[in-house]
Structure 1
Amino acid sequence: HSRSHPVLDAYKLAHQYHDSLLEIQGDMLILNLSEKEYLQLKNTDHVVYIGVNNDHVFDSRIKRNSLTKLVNKSSDSNVELTIPEFECYNTVEGTYAEAKSQAIAHPELVQWKKIGESWKKTQKESGYDLNVLVIGADQKNSNKPKLFLQSGLHAREYAPVALNLAFAKYLITNQGVDPEVDWILDNTEIHLLLVANPDGRKKAEEGLWWRKNTNNNYCSDEPNRMGVDLNRNYTFNWFSIENGSSGDECMSTFRGHEKGSEPEIQAIEAYVRSIFPDSRGPNVNDAAPTSTPGLFIDIHSAGGMVMWPWSTTVDPAPNAAGLQRLGRRFAAINGYRAFQSSNLYPADGVSTGLGYGELGIASIIFEIGTQFFESCQTYEQEVLPNNLRALMYAAKAAISPYTITKGPEVVGIRLEGSGQKPVPSGTNINLKANVSDALFRQLADETLEASQSIKQVLLTISHVDTAEVTKEIQLSAADGEFDSNNELISYVLNTENWSEGLYSLYMKAQDQDGNWGTVKGASLVIDNNIENQNVLPTADFSFECADLECIVSGDKSTDDGELTYRWLINDRAPLFGKSVSFNYYETGEYKIVLQVEDEFGFVASTEKTLTLQGIIVPVAVLEYSCDGLICDFDSSKSSDTDGQITHLEWYIDGIYQADYREATFQYEFPVAGTYVIGLFVVDNHNAYDFKEISVEVKDKPVPVKAIVKPVKEASKSGGALMVLLTLLISCFYIRRRWY
C-alpha cells in the first residue's frame, strides 16, 4: 500500500516489481518478493507486510510447477498441446501446430516462416525455431502496409500468445465471410510472431515465474534466475539510462552484457528491418513523416494499459501527437488506460525502440488482462473479445497510423431485420450505426483530444460475386443534421429487386476538417428461398453474489434462435458470454446492463442495480498516555466488522518500527518534541486503515528540594508551624510543576 498517492503509486510499483507481481487489487499489490527486496521496499513510502490468508493466490499462481497432469496430448506423440489447468492456452508445440496447420490448409493466404532460432537451439540443445505467421502477403503488391504483432517475449505471460493466435484464426476463418476481414486482407499484410521466447515459455508452462530467455551463461549458480530479459536487449537505446535495466545477471531485467546479444533479438531485429523501411532520421528529434504506413505492436500482460514511446525519457517523441491519438483510440476500444511509457516506469533496450526509435514505425505496447497466468474465464469473457476488436482496428489503421485517428470511426453496424441470416429480396433492413469523432480514452485529468462535427457518412454496397458496386449512399444523421462529433445513423435499406447472393456493405465517415476514418464492414445475403419468421428477443438475467463475486446469467432472456450477450457493469470494460462473473470489493451500487442480439440483428436490453456489501475496512484506533519522555501506545480498540485484524504496524515520524508489532507498546523518546505516530492495521480481506496523530512529548519535571531554615529556640511552637507551612507550600509548588 502507498500512503501518499495510492492508486497511481500502485501501478508504478507494479511495474517496478513487475516480475514479482501476483495481483493488483485497487491500491494494493500482492508481490512474491525475496527477503532482500522485501527489506528494500520496507524502507520506502509504502506499507509492506507479509500477508496472511493468501495461500489461494500463492497456490494458483506460483506452485504450478508441481503439476504433472497432461492435457490434450497430440495424437502422434506425448507432447502437450495445452497448458495444464489453463486449457484455453496452447503450449509452444500446440501454438506451432495450429499455425502450421493453417498454413497448410490455406497456402494461398498463409505462410509459416522461420526467422531464427532460440538460444537453446543455437547451442544444439532442444530449443525451437522462431517462426512468423504471415497472412495476406501479395507477391504482386509488396508495398501493402504491414502490421507486425509480437507476443510471448516475456515467458510467463500466457494470454498474449493466445490472443495473437486467435487474431490469426479469426482473419483466416472469416475470409470471404466478413467484409471487414476481406478489406484488411486486401489492404494490409499481417506478420505475427506468436512466441518470441519459446525456451522461456516452456519454463513458464511448468508453472515457473519465468520472464527471461534460458541463456545459462548468466546467473548459472541460480538456475531459476538465469537468462536475459529480451525486452531490455534490443539495440536501440540499450543501457542508455539509469534504472532502465539491470546489469545484475540474476535480476529479472538483466539486459545482457552487449546490445542485441541474444539470438532471439537478433532474429526479430533482422526480420522487422526486412519488412519495414527506415522512415526516421538519425537524430533523436527527427520525426517520421506522418504519412508513414505500418504498425508495430508488442503484446504483454498484465495491467490493462496501452503505451507508446518514449520509455527512456518523459520528453515526448517527435511523433507524439500521432502516437498519443493512436494509443487513446486503442484504449477507447479495449477499455484500458493510455499513456507514454515513461510516465509509468523507465526502460531501455525495449521493443518499441526497434519499431519507432530506429525505423520510425508507429509502435505501441499492449499490457492486457490482470495477471500473468490469466484465468481462462477472464481471458474468454473480457481479454479476448475486447482486444480482438482492438487488433482488428490495428489492421485497418496500419495504412496510415499517425493520421487515420484524426477521422471519425463507425463504431458498429447492425442490420436489423437480417443480422447474420439470409433474407428474401424486398425485405426492409434497418441499418443502425454510431459514428464518433471523439473515440478516445484519456485519464481524468488529461486534456481531451481535439474532435470535430461529422460532415458525411458514406455507405457502399457491392455484390461479392460480381465485385460491382451496386449502390453508393450518402447517409443522414438520425436526428436530421450532422452537427455533433457523435452521431447516430438509422437508415432503411430497401432490398426490392436485389439479385440473390452475398453483398458487402462498407461504411466510412468524414469530419468537418476533411479527415476520413477507417472502414467498417457488414454482410447481407439475399436468398429468395428463405421464408424468415422472427420472434423478437427479450433480455433478462439472474444473479448470485457471495464472497465478493457475482455470477450473472442471461438464462432468463428469450428468443427463437441464438443470442449473443454483452454485459456492462459500471464503468468497466464490457464482458461477453451468456454467463459471466465479476468481483466487487467496495460496498456500493453496481449497475448491470445486459444487451442481447438475435441472429436477425434485433437488440433487447435490460438493467438492474445491485446494492452489494463489499469489504468493510477495519478501523484503526490509537490511544496513548505519556509520563515524561516515556509513552504507552494502545491499538486494542481497533476493530473490523466483517472479519478480524490480522496485522498491524507502528510508525514514528514515518519510520517503520520493526521491533514493535503488538497491539500495545511502550516507547521512550530521546528528546522532548512533537512526534507523528502512525498505526496501520490490515484485516483478513487485506483491507486496511492508516491512522496518524501528533503527540507532544515533554520532559519530566525535576523535583524541587525544600530548604528549611533553623528557628530560634524561644518560639518552638511557632517555628514548627512555619516549617510545616513551608513544606506544604514547597510540595504544592512541586505538584504544580509536575503537572
Structure 2
Amino acid sequence: MKIHLSIFLFFFTLIISANKHFTARIYYNDVSDYNKLLAYDVLEYNNVTEKYFLAIVNDSAFEQLKKDGWKVSRDNIQTLQAQSSLQNFSSGYRTIDELYQDMAAITSAYPYISEIVDYGDAYCKSLGTTYLTPGGDTQQVYDLLAIKITNKKIHADKPVFFLMAGIHAREITTPEVAMRMIDYLTQNYENNADVRWIVDYQETWIVPSVNPEGHWIVELGAEQASGIPYSQRKNANHDDGSTVWPPGTSSFSGSQYGVDLNRNHSYKWGLTGSSSNPSDMTYRGSTTNSEPEVYELQNFLTNLFSDQRIENQAAPTNTTGILISMHSYSKLVLWPWGYTSANAPNHAALKMIGDKFATYNHYTSESSSGLYPTAGDTTDWTYGELGVPAFTFELGNSFMPAYSIIDSVQWPKNRPALLYAAKIARMPYMLIKGPDVSEVTFSYATGNLVKVSAKIDDSKNGGAIISSTELSIGYPNWISNSIPYQMLPEDGIFDSQIETVSVYIAINEFNSDTEMIFIDGQDADGNSGPVTAAFSNSIPEPCYFYFANTWILFIIFLRR
C-alpha cells in the first residue's frame, strides 16, 4: 500500500509541476465574500459546511491570496481530477459544428415533430466582418440555434419547456446532455406514451449551446500544440479592452477576454457577483444585455412565454412554462434568487420544484444565492421578468469528465428530472403540489371489461391524502374531447398519501391499439398532479383467445 501511495504521489507531483495551475480552497467568513474574489477563477462550488470556495489558480495568485489575508490551501484531489479532465475533450465530445450538424440530422429524420429555429447571431457573426482572436486566429462565427420539438399536426396553445446549455463555453458536458434530451424525445415518440403526450400537447425548446463561439474557442485549444482545450468561460467579444491570450493564463489565472453571458441579463444587472473588469471571469459587459447571445435569447424567451408576473408580487399559480439552464459543476439544483438572499415571492413553490428535481438526480437543492451571489443571470431574469419558474442544474463534479460519464452517470441521473419538468410545464406552480402516477397496468377482468390500475403517490409532493383519480381515453383531461373515468381505491377508501386505484372499462371504448389513456390524481388539498400516459396496446390478450388458439392447433395436429 505504501509503495502504491508513493507511486501515486510521485506521478501527481509530476503532473502538478508540468502544469502552472492547480485547484485551491479559499476559506470565507460569509458567502458574500465571493464579491472580493471576482479577479479569480472561482468555480461553481461552495462547501457550506467547511465554508470554502474552489478556484483555479497559479502560484502567483495563490501567494497573492495569502498576502490579502485569505486562508487558502491546495486541494490535491480536485487538482488531479481537473488535470485529468483536460485530456478528455477529444475522447468523444462534439465540436460546435458537429452539434449543429447532428441537430440538422435529427430534424431531417423526424420532420413531423422537430425543426431548427435560428433566433439570432452570436457576437462575432453579428459584426459581419472577419474577427481575429487575441492570438491571431480567425474566429469562426455562428448562428444561435434552437430545436423545437412538438407534433406539428396538433394545433393548440401549448405550454413550453425550455432547456438551455453551454452558456459557459467550457462546461462541455451540458450540450451533450441537451442533445440526449433531443434524441430521447424524438426517438421514443412512437413507443413511449409519456414522450408522445409531451410532444403532442406541449412544446419543448432546446438550445444545446447558447455560446457557440465560446465553445469554438474551447475547441481551439485542443487543436493547437498543447492539445489542451482552452478554459474559455465567456463569449468571444474582446472589444471591451481585454486581450488576454490564451484564456486563463495571466498572472491571475482567472483572467480571460469576453463577457460572462450569465451576468449580462437585464434583470438586476450590475449588482452583486459580477465584475466591471473586462478580464475577470464574471465580467458583466459594458451595458445591460449588451451581448447578442443574451439580447436575442431574452427576445426569444419573451416571445415564447407570456409575462405572468408583476414586480415584487408572486406569479399567479396558473403560470405556464418552465426553464432549466444546465451548467457544471457541483451537483446542485438552484432556483431564484441569485442576486439577493431574500426569498423570491414564489419561494415555496420554487423550492418545492427544486427539491422534487433533486429526488431524481440526487443533487442538493438550494437557492442560487446559497452557492454564491449572482446578478444578471438567466434564471433570475426569466423568473423576475416573466414569472416563469427557472432553475439551474449544476451537472457532475468536473467541466470535462471522461466522455463515458455522460451516458453512465449524467444523462441517467438527469433524464427523469428533465422529463418531470416537461410533464409539469402546463402549470408548474400547481402541478408540483399534486400526486405522481406510476405503475399503470392493464388486465382482463370478466366479459369484455379491462381493468386499469395505477399507483398514486403524494408523499413526495403535497404530502396530503389522495382524494380522487381520473382516467381519460384518447386525450388528456384538459382537452374537451377527453372521456373521463373515475378510478377508485382498491382498499375501498381514500385514506392515505399512497393509493392503488383501478377502474373497469369496456374493451370497445378503446378505438385502437395505439390509443392512449391519461391518468392524474388529486389530493385532499385540491392539488392535481401531472398526467402519466400509457398506450392501450399494453392490454393483454384475453385468456379465451389463447384457449381457442390451443384447441385450433390441437385439431390441426389430429388431422395431420
Deviation of 1:439 after TM superposition, in Å, equals 1.8
State the percentage of identical aligned residues: 30
Aligned to 1:474: 487
**2:105 equivalent in structure 1:** 101
Q: Secondary structure of the equivalent of 2:428?
A: coil
C-alpha distance 140-500 of structure 1, shift in aligned 2 (>3 A): closer
Q: Which residue pairs with 2:17 in the alignment?
A: none
Shift of 1:434: 4.0
The CA distance in 2 between the partners of 1:463 and 1:293, in whole Å, is: 19
Partner of 1:177: 191
The residue type paired with residue 268 of structure 1 is L
CA, structure 1 residues 18+97, in 2 after alignment: closer, same or farther (shift >3 Å)? farther
How far has the Cα of 1:108 moved from its partner? 2.7
Q: Deviations over 1:456-478 (max 9, x none)?
A: 233345599xx99788351415x
Distance 1:511 1:388, change over 3 A: same
Structure 1 equivalent of residue 216 of structure 2: 202
Secondary structure of the 1:329 match is helix
Is residue 158–residue 374 contact of structure 1 (8 Å, CA) maintained in 2?
Answer: no
Structure 2: distance between partners of 1:367 and 1:432 = 37
Query: Does residue 199 of structure 2 align to residue 188 of structure 1?
Result: no
User: Structure 1 CA distance, aligned partners of 2:244 and 2:409?
Assistant: 41
For residue 120 of structure 2, the aligned residue among 113, 116, 119 is: 116
Deviation by residue 1:696-731 (Cα, 9 ceiling, x = unmatched): xxxxxxxxxxxxxxxxxxxxxxxxxxxxxxxxxxxx
Report the Cα offset of residue 480 of structure 1: 4.7
Corresponding position: 1:312 with 2:339: yes
- Equivalent residue for 1:520, pick from 502, 523, 532: 532
Report the Cα offset of residue 18 of structure 1: 9.3
1:84 aligns with 2:105: no
Contact in 2 for aligned 1:62/1:209 (Cα 8 Å): no
Q: Aligned pair 1:160/2:194, yes or no?
A: no
Between structures 1 and 2, the one with greater strand share: 1
Measured after TM superposition, the shift of residue 340 of structure 1 is 1.5
How much has 1:223 moved relative to structure 2? 3.9
2:253 alignment counterpart: none
Once the two structures are TM-superposed, the CA of residue 146 in structure 1 deviates from its matched residue by 1.4
Q: What's the counterpart of residue 130 of structure 1?
A: 144
Aligned residues: CA RMSD: 4.0
2:357 equivalent to 1:334: no
Please say if residues 352 and 365 of structure 1, whose CA atoms lie closer than 8 Å, have aligned partners that are also in contact. yes
1:511 aligned residue: 523
Q: Is the 8 A contact 2:214 2:235 kept in 1?
A: yes
Pick one of 287, 290, 299 that aligns with 1:261: 290
Aligned match of 1:39: 63
Deviations 1:36-63 (A, max 9, x none): 5423554799863345587743431235
Q: Following the alignment from structure 1 to structure 2, what is the Cα–Cα distance between the partners of residues 251 and 499?
A: 62
CA contact under 8 A between 2:41 and 2:57: conserved in structure 1?
no
SS for the counterpart of 2:268 is coil
SS in 2 for 1:273: helix
The answer on 1:401 being equivalent to 2:428 is yes
1:268, distance to aligned residue in structure 2 (A): 0.8
**What is the identity, as a one-letter code, of the residue corresponding to 2:465?**
S
Write the distance in 1 (CA, Å) between the matches of 2:78 and 2:266: 40
For 2:82 and 2:354, the matched residues in 1 are separated by: 34
| Aligned-partner SS, 2:105 | helix
1:355-374 alignment runs, 5 A limit? 355-374=382-401
Alpha-carbon distance change, 98 to 4 in structure 1, aligned in 2, over 3 angstroms = closer
Question: Does the C-alpha gap of structure 1 residues 294 and 3 become closer, same or farther in structure 2, counting only changes over 3 Å?
Answer: closer
Asked if the contact 1:23–1:371 (Cα under 8 Å) also holds between the matched residues in 2, the reply is no
Give the 3 Å change call, closer, same or farther, for CA 17–394 of structure 1 in structure 2: farther
Q: Structure 1 pair 468/93, CA: closer, same or farther in 2 (3 Å)?
A: same
Larger radius of gyration: 1
| CA 499–314 in structure 1, closer or farther in 2 if over 3 Å, else same | closer
* Other structure's SS at 2:469 match: strand
3-state DSSP of counterpart to 1:114: strand
Q: TM-score, normalised by structure 1?
A: 0.58
Contact 1:16–1:345 under 8 Å retained in 2: no
Please name the residue that 1:459 is paired with.
471
Partner AA of 1:219 in structure 2:
S
Give how far 1:309 is off.
1.2
Q: CA deviation at 1:184?
A: 1.3
Describe the superposition over 1:514-543 as per-residue Cα deviations: whole angstroms up to 9, x where unpaired.
Answer: 2110001223345869999xxxxxxxxxxx
Equivalent residues, number: 487
Correspondence list, 1:649-660, <5 A: none
CA distance in 2, matches of 1:493, 1:328: 36
Q: CA deviation at 1:172?
A: 1.5
TM-score of the aligned structures, taking structure 2 as reference length: 0.76
Residue deviations 1:372-395, cap 9 Å, x none?
Answer: 113334322332123111111111
| Structure 1 unaligned blocks of 5 or more | 65-82, 418-422, 441-449, 533-739
Aligned residue number for residue 213 of structure 1: 235
Q: Pick the structure with more helix per residue.
A: 2
Partner residue in 2 for 1:652: none
Residue of 157, 161, 177 corresponding to 1:143: 157
Given that 1:457 and 1:508 are in contact with CA atoms closer than 8 Å, whether structure 2 keeps it comes out as yes
**Secondary structure at 2:380 match in 1:** helix
Kindly provide the amino acid, as one letter, of the partner of residue 359 in structure 1: L
Distance across 2 between alignment mates of 1:499 and 1:360:
41
Question: What corresponds to 2:500 in structure 1?
Answer: 489
